[in-house]
Structure 1
Amino acid sequence: MLTFVVAVTFVMGLIGAVIYFRYYSFDPLFSGGNIPDIGKAGNMHAFLVNLHASYGPIASFWWGPKLAVSIASPELFRQQQNVFDRPSELFVAFQPLLGENSIMYANGANGKKRRNLYAKAFSHRAVGYYMETFSEVASELVSSLQALPNDEHISIQQFCLALVLKGITRSSYGNYFKNHEACLAFRRNFDICWGELEYSLGHGAPEEGSARDKAFKEARGQLLSTFDAIIKKRRVDPPPPERQLFIDILLENDLPESQIMDDCITYAIGGFHPSGFFLVWALYYIVTHQDVQEKLHQEIQSVLGEDKDVDSSHIAQLVYLRQVLDETLRITALAPWAGRFHDTDITLAGYVIPKHTPVIQALGVVSQDENQWTNPEKFNPDRFSPENSKHRDKFAFQPFGFAGKRTCPGYRFAYAEVSVALALLCQTFKFNIVKEQVVEPVYGLVAFPKEDIWVTLEKR
């Protein structure tokens, strides 16, 4: 669920501070330091790329009045691998949507307890149960696309995001979202809330009582009402213990109601846009590299044959598919950075870092570093072949974070969901790019294409 990325560590969480820098630039207290440089670069990832190109693998900058440190090397990442706590101020602009009781803001013993509790819903065993749902959702999409003519121009964003939304809601919150109208209403309210966050990037927070404020609060209230209805239904008709979903784990542990509701929203968001754009970018790269698409199709055919259901045993055999997905994550820097802090002074690369200093882990800088990767701007899934991966430092590629056992809890979910979708789509269709498009990545809350990407398809 890049999925989740949920919580990339939870993909969205890794990039959230982009909002912080621009949202708070309207406050004189946070308008100094390197804030203007971040704005000039266009986004935090681009700023970090420039910062480390100029100053090497460790550099400091001023986040308003506060010193921050950024690191960008496998060696320095290794020294951070056991750090759990992350600076809550990175994600403060999310609080109106996620709620103050969200796991996003939980550190220390409380954060670790909740992470361990929720991890059961996204374990290897649990993801195995979700494969049937993933196949069902992907098959529904395939059937819809088969009804279209071959020359139809199709936005891959539209169908990828719709597919992923169905996958995360059905597998984490149950059959409530098999109702088409319920799914559409959830998406509509989600888009209003998400759109307000995006709009706030350039225009600041809405005034209390304004039309924007009312629309946001009403949409968030509808999201909460949806989860309230799901909770009531699950409490009346709980599943067998071996088939518990994320929502069931929240309910069986007698958690505060506010925590349940805030974490329902948090995990739904973490599992939607990151995974959706993961699939978008994977399709984009195979469409623009027809040799990769053909090689992938041949592998899928050899593994699936005429089978239209994808299970865990198939995923294990789709080795080249996994290479395509890993290369997609590397080249797009879908989740460009993470953040942590220490309760004590530490030393990194000979520099003393005072306690509570935000330490940025520039994941995207390292994933595109020419010292780690040959021709890093080239899309080449073969760089992730078993042979080519054998001697690579594992900290050179950490798309779901790595520090303090706070890796994205939904990383297995993300790989499985996107793998099933891509396998069934490429089994059934050959995708072709519509010519004369300019595709540019935008590093906002997640890395997404500036404009819709249009394709046509041929039925195989």
Structure 2
Amino acid sequence: MISFAVLAVTIISGLLGFLFYVFLNNKTPRASKIPGPPIADKAEGNVPELREAGTIHDYLSELHDEYGPIVGFYLRDLYVVSIGSAELFEEHAQLFDRPKALFQKFEEIATPSTIQFQNGEEGRRRHALYARYFNGTAKFVSELSEGVQDTINSISALPANEYIPLRKSMFILSSANISKTAYASVFTKAELAELVECYDLWDARVENELIGESVEVIKGGKTDPVKRIQGLVKTGLSRRQSSGDIAEDKRFIDILLGDPELSSEAKFADALTMFIGGLHTTANLLTWALYFLADHPEIQERLHEELDSKLKSKDITKSELDSLTYLNQVVNESLRLGGVGTFAARYSEEPLLLGGYTIPAGTPVFHPVVYVMHSEKYFPDADCFNPENFSKENVKKRHPFAFKPFGFAGGRQCVGNRFALEETALALAMLIRTFRFEMVPDQTVEPFFGFVTRPVEEIWVTVSKWTETEESLLPSE
């Protein structure tokens, strides 16, 4: 849910387990003069330091803080570069191809046929095809509204002051919405719950492998969440195929099944990839947005006032969403501070000049987008939640590449970024219009910069009605 190919930045981008699967036969010569740390281990390069940092985001942040906006280091035998400034992002903005070596671990779940591994002509073809579907956001508003209303109904049925698990609730909402809008509801509620559970287990396993730990047994006695996720996605594709209800441009699943240029393996790989991208990015973005609002009641109050004054009926239209200035500032600031997808990467088959340094051909270049979005250089008091960062005046003052949460290079942004933003805005509008969110006391909320930025532990909230006038939005008893 906030952007699929935030797979570009999200799903794939965060696959930290790749570090232990990068084995290249050739040793790339180190580019001269690029700042960077000395090799920590002859066999592993700088992997021990990365492991100690805990995540790719944390390690890249440490390197850029110490060495500046461009830095080079080794992942085993693979020499890589990272660029940590909006100015260098702009210099590197023309490259489309993604370095497969950095993301080998994703093959485990989505196979080598996934769009995430497709470069050149085929990568561009698929990206354009899928983006056309997900960019048509107006057609989703009604169905997405139904999904959010189901969540409102479920919350309304809870006892007063019930503790609500925020992230879990947003994953339930996100999974239902992506299933309905893009996959023609081919998954049952029980299957969606299992997909979410297995995804979390796989996510945890990959992240734990980075620091040398493992997850061998998972809840319910299942030992292979990857096979279960793959099996459920294949079941969904089979159901849609056998239904005979396949129409071009009707649903994303229909586009996949009806594309004569895609192999059966590619159809499966992209169905899985886009489902996960649509699930975890939006769910985590909504989690962060509602947490920030609950933690800043004055901002939540101002947002509610805008919703109350500008929305004239229960049903929210696309044009109304676009007119809600402060809502969209809240969404962007939640995306900036929450982070979601933490980094992207590109490479060139030819040597190129970047930041005054020559980058050897084939060298992977990291784009640590969250590091830049958290930089005081571009966002004063960058650690604070402040929707005014996205006022028209402040946006004009800032470098245009300082806020690129869905990636930027080569036009290869997250395929579903518009869908994710619209879904998040609509959900926030409906939820905050109906409920006041408050934090359960005595919680410490910390981010973990993995596949996407997520809270280390569940966030617990309570809700209450704003005023009696809001009761018309709640289900009748």
TM-score of the two chains, using structure 2 as the length reference? 0.88
- Which SS does the other structure have where 2:353 is aligned? strand
TM-aligned CA deviation for residue 187 of structure 1: 3.5
Aligned to 2:359: 353
Q: Does 1:433 align with 2:439?
A: yes
- The structure 1 residue matched to 2:92, chosen from 57, 74, 80, is 80
Considering fraction of residues, name the structure with more helix: 1
Distance, in Å, in 1 between the alignment partners of 2:22 and 2:457 is 27
SS in 2 for 1:68: strand
1:251 Cα deviation from its structure 2 partner = 2.0
1:15 counterpart SS class: coil
Cα 1:49–1:186 shift into 2, 3 Å: closer
Equivalent-residue separation in structure 1 for 2:297 and 2:133 (angstroms) = 37
2:231 aligned partner: 222
Change in 2 beyond 3 A, CA 1:76/1:244: same
The worse-fitting range, judged by mean Cα deviation, of 83-92 and 188-197 is: 188-197
Q: What is the match of residue 305 of structure 2?
A: 298
1:46 to 2:61 alignment: no
Q: CA deviation at 1:128?
A: 1.0
Q: Conserved in 1, the CA contact under 8 Å of 2:57 and 2:343? A: yes
Any residues of structure 2 matched to 1:162-311 within 5 Å, and which?
162-177=172-187, 179-191=188-200, 193-202=202-211, 215-216=224-225, 218-233=227-242, 236-239=244-247, 241=248, 244-254=250-260, 255-305=262-312, 307-311=313-317
Amino acid of the structure 2 residue aligned with 1:276: A
How has the CA–CA distance of structure 1 residues 39 and 245 changed in structure 2, closer, same or farther, with 3 Å as cutoff? same
Relative to the length of structure 1, the TM-score reads: 0.91
User: Is the contact between residue 400 and residue 407 of structure 1 (CA under 8 Å) also seen in structure 2?
Assistant: yes
In the alignment, residue 246 of structure 1 is paired with which amino acid? F
- 2:21 and 2:307 map into 1 onto residues whose CA distance is 45
User: Could you tell me how far apart the structure 2 residues matched to 1:325 and 1:370 are?
Assistant: 20
Instruction: State the secondary structure of the residue aligned to 1:14.
Output: coil
Task: Give the Cα separation in 2 of the matches to 1:212 and 1:80.
Answer: 47
Does the 8 A contact of 2:22 with 2:104 survive in 1? no
**Residue matched to 1:12:** 11
Structure 2 stretches lacking a partner, 5+ long: 24-39, 467-477
- The Cα of 1:205 is off from its aligned counterpart by 7.9
CA contact (8 A) 1:84 1:340 kept: yes
SS at match of 1:46: helix
* Aligned partner of residue 349 in structure 2, secondary structure: coil
SS class of match (2:385): coil
- Shift of residue 24, structure 1, vs aligned partner: 6.2
Cα separation, partners in 2 of 1:435 and 1:261, compared to 1, 3 Å: same
Report the 3-state secondary structure (helix = DSSP H, G, I; strand = E; otherwise coil) of the residue aligned with 1:448. strand
| Cα distance in structure 2, aligned partners of 1:132 and 1:153 | 29
Alpha-carbon distance change, 258 to 184 in structure 1, aligned in 2, over 3 angstroms: same
CA contact (8 A) 1:23 1:200 kept: no
Counterpart contact for 2:51–2:210, Cα < 8 Å: no
Residue 157 (structure 1) aligned to one of 145, 167, 172: 167
SS of structure 2 residue aligned to 1:272: helix
* Matches of 1:233 and 1:122, distance apart in 2: 24
> Which residue of 336, 346, 352 corresponds with 1:330?
336
State the distance in 1 between where 2:290 and 2:449 align.
Answer: 18
How far apart are 1:215 and its partner, in Å?
A: 2.6
Name the counterpart of 2:395: 389
Q: Give the Cα–Cα distance (whole angstroms) in 1 for the partners of residues 200 and 68 of structure 2.
A: 39
SS in 2 for 1:61: strand
- Say if 1:3 and 1:411, in contact at 8 Å, map to a contact too: yes
Match of 1:367? 373
- Amino acid in structure 2 at the alignment position of 1:357: T
Structure 1 CA distance, aligned partners of 2:198 and 2:258? 27
What is the Cα deviation at residue 447 of structure 1?
0.8
Letter in 2 for 1:13: I
Q: 1:86: Cα distance to partner?
A: 0.9
Q: Secondary structure at the match of 1:455?
A: strand
Partners of 2:384 and 2:200 lie apart in 1 by 33
Which residue of structure 2 aligns with residue 128 of structure 1?
Answer: 138
Say if 2:64 is the partner of 1:57: no
1:396 Cα deviation from its structure 2 partner? 0.7
Q: Which runs of 5+ in 1 are unaligned?
A: none
**Off by >6 Å, runs of 4+ in structure 1:** 204-207
Tell me the CA shift for residue 109 of structure 1: 1.3
1:106 aligned to 2:118? yes
Q: What residue is the counterpart of 1:117 in the other structure?
A: 129
Partner SS for 2:328: helix
Cα 1:292–1:303 shift into 2, 3 Å = same
Shift of 1:352: 0.7
RMSD between superposed Cα atoms in Å: 2.4
Alpha-carbon distance between aligned partners in 1 of 2:447 and 2:161, rounded to the nearest angstrom: 26
Q: What's the offset of the Cα at 1:320?
A: 0.7
